[in-house]
Homo-oligomer: A and B are copies of this chain.
Amino acid sequence: MTGSRAATRARIEADIIRIGRRQLAEVGAAALSLREVARELGMVSSAVYRYVESRDDLLTQLIIAAYDSLGEAAEAASERASDAGDLSRWVAVGDAIRTWALERPHEYLLLYGTPVPGYAAPDDTVSPGTRVSLALVGVVHDAARAGRLDDVAPFVSPVPAALAHDLGELSRLIDVDDDPARLAAVLFGWTQLFGHLSFELTSQTRGMVGDHGEFFRHAVTSSGRAIGLR
């Protein structure tokens, strides 16, 4: 009476992810426990092995789910702000990332923090991870295609030759502008954004910064300006 076997299975699989995320939120990735998942599912511990291959398998699924959720949040913000100026749009995406992170710090740290001891992320994990970055870069891409970019800030020049060469990958994503200084500025903005978040989430800035939202927004605005967004 609980529906067809396939439907029940799908429901339970979704439940497991949901419970896993809740556990992540409460105790963090290192303390994620299959036995606890089973308990919350109302099953005996061995039963969850019908749904999940191992603890590492569950972690992988959770990482993918988290990347997707974050990527979606970023993309949605980008779309919502597609009529605003490029700089506001850049900030909007950054803000969405921050909001997502603050709502689930442990999930953020699962993606961008210390690797979980004894766990090696498989390759399935890489492609969902690029979604956020693509959302950010997409803003620059659109601005470049529309010819709305100001000059890149002079302080990133000159870009050392070896580095300029390395920027090829990113150049394919932005697609229009392949000025190495611009590419470097985008990369800097990107690392700075996540650097800020990691600092905020691990309280490194305690005592130094009062209003983290204001600080973050200003940092992202500044990096956007340096890139040449307006």
Nearest-CB distance from A127 to chain B (Å)? 11
Our pick among B112, B195, B225 for the contact of A191 (Cβ within 8 Å) is B195
Contact B155 A225 (CB under 8 A): yes
Our pick among B114, B156, B162, B209 for the contact of A222 (Cβ within 8 Å) is B156
Contact A191 B219 (CB under 8 A): yes
Contact A218 B28 (CB under 8 A): no
Q: Does A226 reach chain B (CB closer than 8 Å)?
A: yes
**15 examples of A-B residue contacts, CB within 8 angstroms:** A28-B114, A109-B114, A113-B114, A156-B218, A160-B218, A162-B211, A162-B214, A163-B214, A163-B215, A165-B210, A170-B208, A188-B219, A191-B192, A194-B198, A195-B199
Q: How many copies does the complex hold?
A: 2
- B-chain residues with CB within 8 Å of residue A198 when the two chains form the complex: 112, 194-195, 198
Q: Does A47 reach chain B (CB closer than 8 Å)?
A: no
Contact A211 B166 (CB under 8 A): yes
Q: Does A207 reach chain B (CB closer than 8 Å)?
A: yes
Chain A, interface size category, equals 35 or more
Q: Does A37 reach chain B (CB closer than 8 Å)?
A: no
Besides the known contacts A156-B222, A160-B217, A170-B208, 13 further A-B residue pairs in the complex with CB atoms under 8 A apart: A28-B117, A30-B30, A30-B117, A31-B117, A112-B204, A114-B202, A160-B214, A162-B214, A163-B218, A166-B211, A187-B208, A194-B198, A226-B226
- B-chain residues with CB within 8 Å of residue A38 when the two chains form the complex: none
Q: Does A153 reach chain B (CB closer than 8 Å)?
A: yes
Q: Does A85 reach chain B (CB closer than 8 Å)?
A: no
- B-chain residues with CB within 8 Å of residue A215 when the two chains form the complex: 163, 166, 187
The docked-state distance in angstroms from the alpha carbon of A196 to that of B189 is 11
The docked-state distance in angstroms from the alpha carbon of A198 to that of B28 is 19
Contact B222 A155 (CB under 8 A): yes
The docked-state distance in angstroms from the alpha carbon of A140 to that of B49 is 57
